[in-house]
Amino acid sequence: MLVLAGVYLAVARLGLSLSTVGGNVSPVWPPTGVALAALILRGPLLWPGIFIGAFLATASTGVPLSVALGVAAGNTLATVLGAALTRRLRMGSDLSRIRDVVVLCVGAGAVCTGVSSLVGPLCLLLGGALPWELLGRAVWVWWVGDLMGVLVVAPPLLLLSRPTWPHRLGEAVALAGLTTVLGASVFLFRNAQPGFAHAASFLLFPMSAMAALRFGPRGAAAATLAISTVAIFGTVRGQGPFSSGNVAQDLLVLQLFVVVNAVTGQLLAAASEERRRAVEKLQLLATTVRGVHEGVFIAEVEGPGRLRTVFANEALSLLLGRPPEELVEQDPCKMYGEQDPRLCQRLNAALLAGESLCVEVTVPRKDGRLVSTEVLLSPVRATGGDVSHFVATHRDITATKELQARLVAAERVAAVGTLAAGVGHEINNPLAYLVLNLEAATRALSEGGMLGQRDAQSSVRGALEGAERIRLIVRDLQVFSRQGDQDRTLVDLNALVPPAVRIISHALRHRARLVEEFGPVPKVLGSEARLGQVLLNLLVNAMQAVPEGNPTLHEVRVRTSTDASGRARVDVVDTGMGISAQVMARIFEPFFTTKPTGEGTGLGLAICQQIVRTHGGELEVRSEEGKGSVFTVLLPAAPVQMEVPPRPVARGKPAVPSTGRRGRVLVVDDEPRLAQSMRLLLEPYHDVVMTTRGSEALALVSAGHRYDVILCDLQMPEVDGATLYRRLGVVAPELTRRMVFISGGAYTAETRDFIETVPNLVLEKPVRPEVLMASVDAALDTLAAQDEEDGPVVARAGGARH
């Protein structure tokens, strides 16, 4: 504080030596710049140092102490207000922004110095140190002097408070020397031609501009200080282009030159700094975008819904397997290939509305492989204008999707595994019934006679009933064990609930009553296996929420209905323990579980929510601790409520041929006992050839044997059903139409694709005898119809018709 007071006093004495009004008012007043810089750099608590320095400087001129106190108060108030304004407006002391220069020049310089330029002359007037007629001039000169101090002295102090050597030291020294020499030649020599001298003074502006452009605000401040010092020194001595013999007038005119030079230099330096930072940010952004691991493209909007790619980074090129030049100048929508129409509608709507969009898109690579990506499409708007560009980032989520599929499969297995004991009991009951009836039939047949035959027939019918019950249980399990079933079809939730209920019923009966309540519900577009998994998981969750011991006190209710907005609704209600508020906030978090170790994975509800959201729906929960919970699945209704035609399957025909035609049948199944059973069933009515390997079937056909019907298992080692179909298409194409496939479950993606695309009949194991017989009859009827269309010619090869 004392140092500031001493510096202020010394600089003020220098300014007072150039006073032009009453011996107390000077057009050159550097103390204001010193005081403002001190308060900005060191804080407002130094204001007493300014007050002391200003008081001593003013008192040294012989004015009364009261006048000195008033002048010191005005000078201090002006600088405190200027410093407060710069802090309030967050002015940077490095003056590297145009707004910083404006705040300094206009706010702290032009506005705040008006306080001291009014207070000071009025105090001198009231103290008798200034005549009334000089008041206006004194205010003007005082304000010009303070403004010069702010613009010329404050910037060098602010910028040189943390001195650093310039990177181009040699250039800086040369420019400083040239500026000094040019300034001295203009202001320190009397010229006989004033017009030439005025013109020469303009040569200093390029020097100041060069310093600002090459060395930023520091260079501009240093050049302004040097030029101003030389100009004031020369003008006071009566030299330079602004000298006219009247020093007071000359100094005022000179200040206009100084102010214009200082403001121009600082603004130019700030603009140069902002441009440099913008270029650095742009280069950093470009480098970052090029090196980022996510694929990025920038597209220019050429019209409504029309885009043109102007940039694509290396990551996007690697993701798509295409060089960048194939992506640039193209419509980016083409890279997405054929997508779901609803997705295309969302993309087009986002483009037309200029809105952001985050979607999952399957992108085809150049080699044909499909890559799952998460695309974030963001609009870029011109300043205050329309959308000019779109930026899209592509994140490869192929591995994430595979992991999610594995987690879904793991949770599905865990859910079914939780019910394994109950399912095993459900199978054991009809299995025991089946075994006992078969043993009874065996004994009855061994006894012989009409009575024994009747007892045997009754026991066989009982065995068939047990086998049918086992078949239904296996079919229900298949609904929840399909792998990778992502095909969307029309799903009737009223038909999907019973299999889930049947699977869980045995495990639940010891805890609570199970109530089914079906209402009108629209069909939804989705995956039957995935939605079935949601229902099963929610039922398992409800079962585990109900304590064991007294099933008459508890209830689990499954209710289907349609909500007010037309969505399909399924409620799973339990009267169990309920969920606390703390747990409720986390129930959908992956791996969060309140169950003991080994009894829960913490994935069930998280995966249920994921599956429901994938179907465009919502999973809601309401619960009250101690009173149970309600989980609600809401799914959007399918756009078209129509039945999907099922794959044609022969139904309800008796186990005897409907026609008298005897055909030649080839049975191909790797399970010998099953193949033998089919042979025994068909042999009384048809000529049957049996093989357990697809390669043997190919060998028979290659040897010239022909068959009217080929019953072929899909899942076989080495040559499976799909492979046999394709190879027969080369060796004997006419036989491919006569194949009837038998599937125990499509366990691979290739098999599922084959089933969906092949036009032939596909029977699900276990095949009922009458269905198998009817399927063979249907194939023979089709063959007969084709023979009639082709004509009466029937060729023979190896004793077989074809």
Please tell me the predicted confidence (pLDDT) of residue 348: 72
Q: Distances from the Cα of 520 to the Cαs of 411, 444, 495, 568, 574, in angstroms? A: 30, 50, 12, 9, 22
Give the pLDDT band of residue 532 (cuts 50, 70, 90).
confident
Separation between Cα atoms, residue 68 and residue 127, nearest integer Å: 9
Please tell me the predicted confidence (pLDDT) of residue 648: 41
Please tell me the predicted confidence (pLDDT) of residue 651: 34
Given a contact cutoff of 8 angstroms between Cβ atoms, the answer to whether 166 and 215 are in contact is yes
pLDDT winner (highest mean) among 393-397, 579-583, 631-635: 631-635
What is the residue-wise DSSP string for 109-173? IIITHHHHHHHHHHHHHHTTSS-GGGHHHHHHHHHHHHHHIIIIIHHHHHHTTS----SSHHHHH
- The more confident residue out of 484 and 765 is 765
User: Domain 664-801: what homologous superfamily?
Assistant: Response regulator (3.40.50.2300)
Average pLDDT, the chain: 80
Residue range 90-111, pLDDT digits in tens: 998 888 899 999 999 999 988 9
Q: How many CA atoms lie within 13 A of 341 on its CB side?
A: 1
Q: Distances from the Cα of 730 to the Cαs of 279, 693, 753, in angstroms? A: 66, 19, 20
Weakest mean pLDDT among 646-660, 662-676, 688-702: 646-660
Please tell me the predicted confidence (pLDDT) of residue 11: 92
Taking each helix axis from N to C end, the angle separating 449-481 and 493-508, rounded to the nearest 10 degrees, works out to: 110
Under CATH, what is the fold of the domain 292-396? Beta-Lactamase (3.30.450)
Give the pLDDT band of residue 77 (cuts 50, 70, 90).
very high
End-to-end Cα distance, the chain: 115
Separation between Cα atoms, residue 286 and residue 266, nearest integer Å: 30
With a cut of 60, say whether residue 790 has pLDDT above it: no
**Domain 1-163, architecture per CATH:** Orthogonal Bundle (1.10)
Q: What angle do CA 623, 629, 630 make, to 5 degrees?
A: 105
Own/partner pairs, 561-567, CB within 8 angstroms, 24+ separation: 561/519, 561/520, 561/521, 562/519, 562/520, 562/521, 562/522, 563/634, 566/522, 566/637, 567/522, 567/617, 567/634, 567/635, 567/636, 567/637
**Domain 408-635, architecture per CATH:** 2-Layer Sandwich (3.30)
Tokens matching residue 97? 């922004």
With a cut of 70, say whether residue 210 has pLDDT above it: yes
When pLDDT is averaged across residues 178-196 and rounded to a whole number, the result is 71
Weakest mean pLDDT among 96-105, 130-139, 206-215: 206-215
With a cut of 60, say whether residue 711 has pLDDT above it: yes
Please tell me the predicted confidence (pLDDT) of residue 646: 44
Please tell me the predicted confidence (pLDDT) of residue 94: 87
Neighbouring CB atoms inside 10 A of 516's CB total 13
Give the pLDDT band of residue 549 (cuts 50, 70, 90).
confident
φ and ψ at 742, to 5 degrees? -125, 125
With a cut of 50, say whether residue 775 has pLDDT above it: yes
- The more confident residue out of 342 and 261 is 261
When pLDDT is averaged across residues 699-714 and rounded to a whole number, the result is 91
What is the residue-wise DSSP string for 300-340? EEEETTEEEEEEE-HHHHHHHT--HHHHTTS-GGGGG-S--
Residue 501, SS3 per DSSP: helix
When pLDDT is averaged across residues 428-452 and rounded to a whole number, the result is 69
Please tell me the predicted confidence (pLDDT) of residue 522: 92
Weakest mean pLDDT among 67-81, 263-277, 604-618: 604-618
Please tell me the predicted confidence (pLDDT) of residue 121: 92
Please tell me the predicted confidence (pLDDT) of residue 797: 33
Please tell me the predicted confidence (pLDDT) of residue 801: 30
With a cut of 90, say whether residue 630 has pLDDT above it: yes
Separation between Cα atoms, residue 238 and residue 21, nearest integer Å: 18
Hey, where are the domains in the chain? 1-163, 165-290, 292-396, 408-635, 664-801
**Closest residue by Cα to residue 392 from 469, 452, 341, 327:** 327
With a cut of 50, say whether residue 793 has pLDDT above it: no
Residue range 560-573, pLDDT digits in tens: 999 999 999 999 99
With a cut of 70, say whether residue 602 has pLDDT above it: no
> How many residues in the chain?
802
Please tell me the predicted confidence (pLDDT) of residue 48: 94
When pLDDT is averaged across residues 18-41 and rounded to a whole number, the result is 89
Please tell me the predicted confidence (pLDDT) of residue 656: 46
E strand spans, 468-614: 489-491, 513-517, 524-526, 555-562, 568-574
Quick one: CA dihedral 246, 247, 251, 254, positive or negative? positive
Given a contact cutoff of 8 angstroms between Cβ atoms, the answer to whether 651 and 771 are in contact is yes
Q: What angle do CA 503, 509, 511 make, to 5 degrees?
A: 120
- The more confident residue out of 321 and 8 is 8
Q: Do 1-163 and 292-396 have matching folds?
A: no
Residue range 256-281, pLDDT digits in tens: 888 888 888 889 888 888 888 877 77
Weakest mean pLDDT among 11-15, 583-587, 689-693: 583-587
Neighbouring CB atoms inside 10 A of 519's CB total 10
pTM for the structure as a whole: 0.47
**Closest residue by Cα to residue 621 from 705, 537, 497:** 537
Separation between Cα atoms, residue 610 and residue 615, nearest integer Å: 9
Please tell me the predicted confidence (pLDDT) of residue 647: 42
Q: Which residues pair with 525 in a beta bridge?
A: 490
Separation between Cα atoms, residue 441 and residue 12, nearest integer Å: 127
Tokens matching residue 241? 């282009």
Q: What angle do CA 199, 201, 202 make, to 5 degrees?
A: 75
